């Protein structure tokens, strides 16, 4: 690789921020891009793509939820002289039915299943897969990251406000997940952006241990001394509550669909991407909790 900067699209977000920090630690020049960054970049405004890609050697791409990274983007990247792209995707997008609610086996429920919910299941998966295809066919050196559920959903993401309020209400029953620490996802991204040997790899990533929501919340409660509990709710109640908090119907359905694999036990699987990419085991959920608590994530 040359000394040209790495463009980090979504560089102010949960994974992008950590990728930026990791690249800087290695002395790599970084160009942070997003709608609010100095280098303005908007997936929904093609006129912002060319200036961001100018003079860049490699790209880390965080796609917008439900919107695929397109062939126009990868084509422009190639013509701009980009050599390498690392795409953030998600675990399970290649498995048919992975994000379905599991009601298909039940004839009656299947008939009742409304179109909005089915659209939610489709949207996230379809856009990630389309983006993966665009990247694979781009002629660039590509690496695809497929992480499972992020541990940082508890400390920076969707679950944070509920935890601070003392009650996390999710439609996952006693389902467990091998939550992956974003420090690991970012470390794999940085390796793929800066080292040889990762081109053409799809890294499916998870943490080393499946924890159910009751255990996860208990570990956070233990580390913080806050009284917090997990309350299982139905999918319909979950989406209704998200709507009350101001989320659009589409976003509420996307989140509900994303949680289906946890309820169905699919996210309890351990994936080996961190070990394959970095030659070490992924960080445990307990390490994430300890570090996030020390950083004041749940001080409120």
Ligand X SMILES: NC(=O)c1ccc[n+]([C@@H]2O[C@H](COP(=O)([O-])OP(=O)(O)OC[C@H]3O[C@@H](n4cnc5c(N)ncnc54)[C@H](OP(=O)(O)O)[C@@H]3O)[C@@H](O)[C@H]2O)c1
120 vs 196, which CB is nearer to ligand X?
120
Whole-angstrom distance, CA of residue 167 vs CA of residue 145: 31
Among 64, 164, 199, 286, binds ligand X (CB under 6 A): 64
112 vs 298, which CB is nearer to ligand X?
298
User: Least distance (Å) from ligand X to the CB of residue 196?
Assistant: 25
Q: Residue 36, interface with ligand X (CB under 6 A)?
A: yes
User: Least distance (Å) from ligand X to the CB of residue 227?
Assistant: 25
Q: Residue 68, interface with ligand X (CB under 6 A)?
A: no
149 vs 288, which CB is nearer to ligand X?
149
Q: Compute CA 170 distance to the chain's CA centroid, rounded to the nearest angstrom.
A: 18
User: Least distance (Å) from ligand X to the CB of residue 153?
Assistant: 5
User: Least distance (Å) from ligand X to the CB of residue 248?
Assistant: 14
Q: Residue 256, interface with ligand X (CB under 6 A)?
A: no
Q: Binders of ligand X among 76-115, rule CB under 6 A?
A: 88, 90
153 vs 224, which CB is nearer to ligand X?
153
User: Least distance (Å) from ligand X to the CB of residue 111?
Assistant: 29
User: Least distance (Å) from ligand X to the CB of residue 83?
Assistant: 22
Q: Binders of ligand X among 136-165, rule CB under 6 A?
A: 147, 149-150, 153, 157
Among 42, 83, 214, 251, binds ligand X (CB under 6 A): 42
Among 34, 194, 239, 271, binds ligand X (CB under 6 A): 34
User: Least distance (Å) from ligand X to the CB of residue 216?
Assistant: 13
Query: Read out DSSP for the chain?
Result: --SPPEEEETTTSHHHHHHHHHHHHTT--EEEEETTSSEE-BTTBGGGHHHHHTT-SEEEE-PPTT-PPPHHHHHHHHHTT--EEEEE--TTTTSTTTTS-SGGGSHHHHHH--HHHHHHHHHHHHHHHHHHHHHHTSSSEEEEEEE-SBGGGTTTSTTHHHHHHTEEEES-TT-EE-PBPHHHHHHHHHHHHHSSS-TTEEEEE--SS-EEHHHHHHHHHHHH----EEEE--HHHHHHHHHHTT--HHHHHHHHHHHHHHHTTGGG---BHHHHHHSSPPPPHHHHHHHHHHTTTT--
Q: Residue 282, interface with ligand X (CB under 6 A)?
A: no
Q: Residue 178, interface with ligand X (CB under 6 A)?
A: no
Whole-angstrom distance, CA of residue 192 vs CA of residue 60: 9
177 vs 196, which CB is nearer to ligand X?
177
Query: Read out DSSP for 145-178?
Result: EEE-SBGGGTTTSTTHHHHHHTEEEES-TT-EE-
User: Least distance (Å) from ligand X to the CB of residue 114?
Assistant: 22
Q: Residue 16, interface with ligand X (CB under 6 A)?
A: yes
**Footprint of ligand X on this chain (CB under 6 A)?**
10-16, 34-37, 41-44, 62-65, 88, 90, 124, 147, 149-150, 153, 157
């Amino acid at each position: 690789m040359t000394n040209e900067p790495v463009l980090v699209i979504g560089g102010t977000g949960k994974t992008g921020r950590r990728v930026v920090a990791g690249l800087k630690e290695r002395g790599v020049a970084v160009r942070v891009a997003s709608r609010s960054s100095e280098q303005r970049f908007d997936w929904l405004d093609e006129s912002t793509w060319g200036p961001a890609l100018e003079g860049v050697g490699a790209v880390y791409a965080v796609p917008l939820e439900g919107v695929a990274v397109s062939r126009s983007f990868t084509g422009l990247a190639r013509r701009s002289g980009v050599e390498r792209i690392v795409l953030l995707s998600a675990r399970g997008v290649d498995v048919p039915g992975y994000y379905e609610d599991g009601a298909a086996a039940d004839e009656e429920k299947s008939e009742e299943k409304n179109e909005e919910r089915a659209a939610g299941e489709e949207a996230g998966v379809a856009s990630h897969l389309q983006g993966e295809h665009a990247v694979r066919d781009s002629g660039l050196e590509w690496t695809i990251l497929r992480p499972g559920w992020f541990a940082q959903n508890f400390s920076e993401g969707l679950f944070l406000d509920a935890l601070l309020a003392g009650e996390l209400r999710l439609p996952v029953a006693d389902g467990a997940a091998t939550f992956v620490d974003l420090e690991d996802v970012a470390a794999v991204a940085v390796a793929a952006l800066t080292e040889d040997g990762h081109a053409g790899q799809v890294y499916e990533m998870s943490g080393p241990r499946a924890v159910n929501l009751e255990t996860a919340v208990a570990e956070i409660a233990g580390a913080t001394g806050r009284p917090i509990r997990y309350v299982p709710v139905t999918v319909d109640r979950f989406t209704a509550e998200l709507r009350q908090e101001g989320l659009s119907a589409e976003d509420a359905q996307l989140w509900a669909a994303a949680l289906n694999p946890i309820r169905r036990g699919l996210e309890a699987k351990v994936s080996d991407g961190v070990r394959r990419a970095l030659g070490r085991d992924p960080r445990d959920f307990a390490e994430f909790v300890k570090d996030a608590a020390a950083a004041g994530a749940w001080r409120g």
